[in-house]
Chains A and B, each alone.
Chain A
Amino acid sequence: MIKTLFRIVSIVLSVFILIFLQNLLKPKYMTSIHEGNLVEEYYKSSKDHDVIFIGDCEVFSNVSPITLWEKYGITSYIRGSAQQLVWQSYYLFEETLKYEKPDVVVFNVLAMKYGEPQNEAYNRLTLDGMKMSMSKIGAIKASMTEDENMITYFFPILRYHSRWSELTWEDFRYLFKKDKVSHNGYLMRVDTKPVKVVPEGRKLPSYEFGEKAWHYLEKMTQLAKDNNIELMLIKSPSIYPYWYDEWDEQIKQFAEENGLTYINFLPLAEEMGIDYSKDTYDGGLHMNLSGAEKFTAYLGEILKEKYALEDRRNDEKLAAEWQGKIAFYEWMKEHQQMELQKYGYLKSYGAAAQTIE
């Protein structure tokens, strides 16, 4: 009896210690590379969104759900992460449907340029945050590079064990609870770094998108159709990485063939009032807050008109909830401006984020 009891206690204690160690060793992404938290934060939000944005940094940096709410009463969430590949977007879309059914899903097409799994570190930023589900397993299978092993996604301690020598106060402070870093998936940056050179795209050996990227775009289209959801394709107005006319043509053709709306916002920058000397924080890769609000305001008008989305600002319950979000948004805006004045850069918001595409 005592032996059995000891065995049970030992097993429970061992599991507890292992979970504790795993959580301790997992990166927290609180003081840098905030992108690592974006996917995970979705589960804590309420699940009542008219629009879901999916894609890479061109959505989580360039679209502000708060602006969409404030201007049009549209509720939205961004399910995007750094260098989020098309298949990752597909599986995040699929997973989102388990929680809610939006009217519109907006997919940013930049990631179509990647036809194969790219980089383990970026995979982690998207996949680690996903809750365990068949969608997550599908996303992992589709994303893994040659050196990766699926088991490390199930037991992240196998991936992050070597961080024991790099642990900082951040790992202990955020061991059990993390701060919120995004605004419904939007990662705010108020600093500015103007575009100095407008790029000329270097010649590519082939402009054809990869088979795998097409496959998942088709799956995404089918998934939207099956669930009676409007799928909209966009190319966000970031000027880096270069968006080729040949790529644009392929997406246009796909959208036509599938009865989808596709808008390339790059040529519309002037009409949207985007000033690349003021509206980007890293020389054209990502919009800063000012750029994101301008782009969102323009996009919101299209969403409202095209998909007849209802203005829900009169819904008291929703309004109260969004009031809290706005307060956090305004607080961060002020805090970032204060840091900018005080230090000349955004000390608490990860300068490293500039290197994340």
Chain B
Amino acid sequence: MHFASYSFILYILVLVPLYYLIPKKLQWMLLLVASYVFYSFAGAGYLTYILVSTISTWFAAIKIDKLKQVQEDYLNRMKKELSRAERKEYREGIKAKQRTWMLLCLILNFGILAFLKYAGHFQFGARLGLILPLGMSFYTFQSMGYLIDIYRGTYDAERNLGKLALFISFFPQLVQGPISRFNQLKETLFAQHSYDAQQMTYGMQRILWGFFKKLVVADRLLPAVKTIVTNPGEYQGAFVLVGMFFYAIQLYADFTGGIDIAIGVARLFGVHLNENFNRPYFSKSITEYWRRWHITLGAWFRDYMFYPISVSKTMMSITRKARKYLGDAVGKRVPIYIASIIVWFTTGVWHGSTWNFVVWGLLNCLVILVSQECEPLYERFHNKFDLKGRFWYRLFQVGRTFWLMSFLRTLDVYTGVGTTFRMYASVFTVWNLPELFQGGLMQLGLTIADYVVLIFAVGLMLFVSLKSRAGSISMSLNAKPMPVRYAAYFLVFIAVLVFGAYGVGYDASQFIYSQF
């Protein structure tokens, strides 16, 4: 039951009224049951994995929390008897125990994730039919983020197993995020909600817009992207650029569409999910792009990997040595380089189990580090020519970032690293631009009518993005007179209904990010 299916819409239509009809104290329980039912549609066997993840996280978090309590009680009780050194020693002992529980749980959960992600590449995995359960990458990161927060003492552990199970399995975010933090999500997830027309309107707006992006844009582009990337021998040169461009739009529409639906559905239940995008294609550098694309994953890696690695004891020791042998200027950068490489390598691996993703992650890292190293150079250049504030220069920066990211992202879609690099090379060696306009574009599985729809739909997406720079588009729409508002909703609805690429004759396509 994926988001863009009749059964999902029906599921929501049944759940929402039920949610507001039952006693409020039971609302979170309904969401828990609904989440497990939703997940069981992907395969009843997958429930075992999410249950293992939930129970192990709950158990380890409680253990860690209890150790904290034990420590507090003991230190309070023994305030006078213990010296500072003894207190420190005691604390370290407790911390070590907490760390053991955390590591055991991390190893178990990331171990299962890694095993299932890679098992399919080995004979035994293929023989056993082992595949990565839907959404596992997302819920594992979410639950492990929670565990690390408990270890750090950011907040107290959730004692109620059911509530933690709901946090991990909450169905709108289960398939492709956003990756939530427990202390933020719990405020609305476990709260008692009364029907709120404004929330409902907002939720439905987001859902409708999500469907528009997914069905009218992403799925309509799917055949063209598929044609280009599955026939690398035939489609080279300018076609590779077209493929990059189309895939950039498809992925954006698909992923942000899915997130819009997730946020919108959650809002129907009064639950607030974090935003995952902030107009990433308007970024002027790759570093900025990664702050604005898949925000919650980026934040996860930053908070739970990059910073801890950067300030770890090992890294401190490496830094000291690096400063000694390489000098202060280079030495101080070493921990950042190492942490960045590890984080980007992991990001690549998280996205997929093939070499393409590893190379993709490391290339991103390389571009970011090189950009950082070149920063003084840019600074001098900007100071000399005073271009920074000019519109056309900003446009150039946005275009440069867009194409650079599109180049890197191409590694997602071709079957191997070698093929991808051959296709990169073909952009510079195969000169076939006129072919595109001599019927080439019409061979990609799209008709003139499809291109017309795409131009209008992408234009609308661009318009909405530009408008939302000034503030929430939803709020400005709500401020409009009712007929204008209603006409806007109805037109988008009709556009999805009529121009959406769904049903017989179209590939039923799962959301791209749900495969990661």
Contact with A along B470-488 (1 / 0, CB 8 A): 0000000000001100100
Known contacts A147-B504, A151-B6, A159-B504; decide if A164 and B499 are in contact (CB<8 Å).
Answer: yes
Contact with B along A115-151 (1 / 0, CB 8 A): 0000010000000000000000000000000011101
Does B490 lie at the interface of the complex (its beta carbon under 8 Å from any beta carbon of A)?
A: yes
Q: Across the interface, which residues of B come within 8 angstroms of A162, CB to CB? A: 501, 503, 505-506
In the complex, which of the residues B486, B498, B505 contacts A10, with contact meaning CB atoms closer than 8 Å?
B486
Residues from 139 to 189 in A contacting B, C-beta threshold 8 Å: 147-149, 151-152, 157-159, 161-162, 164-165
Interface of A is mostly: helix
Cα distance A25–B497 when bound, in Å? 12
Asked if B503 and A21 make an inter-chain contact with CB atoms under 8 angstroms apart, the answer reads: no
**Chain B interface residues toward A at CB < 8 A:** 6, 10, 447, 449-450, 482-483, 486, 490, 494, 497-506, 508
Known contacts A6-B483, A151-B6, A164-B498; decide if A14 and B490 are in contact (CB<8 Å).
Answer: yes
Q: Across the interface, which residues of A come within 8 angstroms of B10, CB to CB? A: 151
Does A203 lie at the interface of the complex (its beta carbon under 8 Å from any beta carbon of B)?
A: no
- Chain A: CB-nearest residue to B452: A165
Does A3 lie at the interface of the complex (its beta carbon under 8 Å from any beta carbon of B)?
A: yes
22 contacts between A and B (CB under 8 A): A6-B482, A10-B483, A10-B486, A10-B490, A14-B490, A21-B497, A25-B498, A147-B508, A149-B6, A151-B6, A157-B497, A157-B498, A158-B497, A159-B503, A159-B504, A161-B499, A161-B500, A161-B503, A162-B503, A164-B449, A164-B498, A165-B447
Asked if A161 and B483 make an inter-chain contact with CB atoms under 8 angstroms apart, the answer reads: no
Interface of B is mostly: helix
Q: Across the interface, which residues of A come within 8 angstroms of B483, CB to CB? A: 6, 10
Q: Across the interface, which residues of B come within 8 angstroms of A159, CB to CB? A: 503-504
Q: Across the interface, which residues of A come within 8 angstroms of B498, CB to CB? A: 21, 25, 157, 161, 164
Measured as residues with beta carbon below 8 angstroms from the partner, the interface class of chain A is: 20 to 34
Cα distance A10–B501 when bound, in Å? 27
Given contacts A10-B490, A161-B502, 7 further A-B contacts (CB under 8 A): A3-B482, A10-B486, A21-B497, A147-B508, A157-B497, A158-B502, A158-B503
- Chain A: CB-nearest residue to B486: A10
Q: Across the interface, which residues of B come within 8 angstroms of A6, CB to CB? A: 482-483, 486
- Chain A: CB-nearest residue to B5: A149
- Chain B: CB-nearest residue to A150: B6
Q: Distance in Å from the Cβ of A228 to the closest Cβ of chain B?
A: 41
- Chain A: CB-nearest residue to B508: A147
Asked if A161 and B497 make an inter-chain contact with CB atoms under 8 angstroms apart, the answer reads: yes
- Chain A: CB-nearest residue to B483: A6
Q: Across the interface, which residues of B come within 8 angstroms of A18, CB to CB? A: 497
Q: Distance in Å from the Cβ of B486 to the closest Cβ of chain A?
A: 5
Interface centre among A120, A147, A165 (most CB of B within 10 A): A165
Q: Across the interface, which residues of B come within 8 angstroms of A10, CB to CB? A: 483, 486, 490
Q: Across the interface, which residues of A come within 8 angstroms of B504, CB to CB? A: 120, 147-148, 152, 159
Contact with B along A1-28 (1 / 0, CB 8 A): 0010010001000100110010001000
Q: Distance in Å from the Cβ of B243 to the closest Cβ of chain A?
A: 24
Interface centre among B447, B490, B500, B503 (most CB of A within 10 A): B503
Cα distance A149–B486 when bound, in Å? 29
Q: Distance in Å from the Cβ of B480 to the closest Cβ of chain A?
A: 14
Q: Distance in Å from the Cβ of A137 to the closest Cβ of chain B?
A: 16
Q: Across the interface, which residues of B come within 8 angstroms of A149, CB to CB? A: 6, 503
Q: Across the interface, which residues of B come within 8 angstroms of A21, CB to CB? A: 494, 497-498
Cα distance A148–B505 when bound, in Å? 11
Cα distance A164–B212 when bound, in Å? 17
Q: Across the interface, which residues of B come within 8 angstroms of A25, CB to CB? A: 498
Cα distance A164–B453 when bound, in Å? 11
Asked if B494 and A165 make an inter-chain contact with CB atoms under 8 angstroms apart, the answer reads: no
- Chain B: CB-nearest residue to A161: B498
Cα distance A3–B482 when bound, in Å? 8
Q: Distance in Å from the Cβ of A146 to the closest Cβ of chain B?
A: 11
Q: Distance in Å from the Cβ of B454 to the closest Cβ of chain A?
A: 13
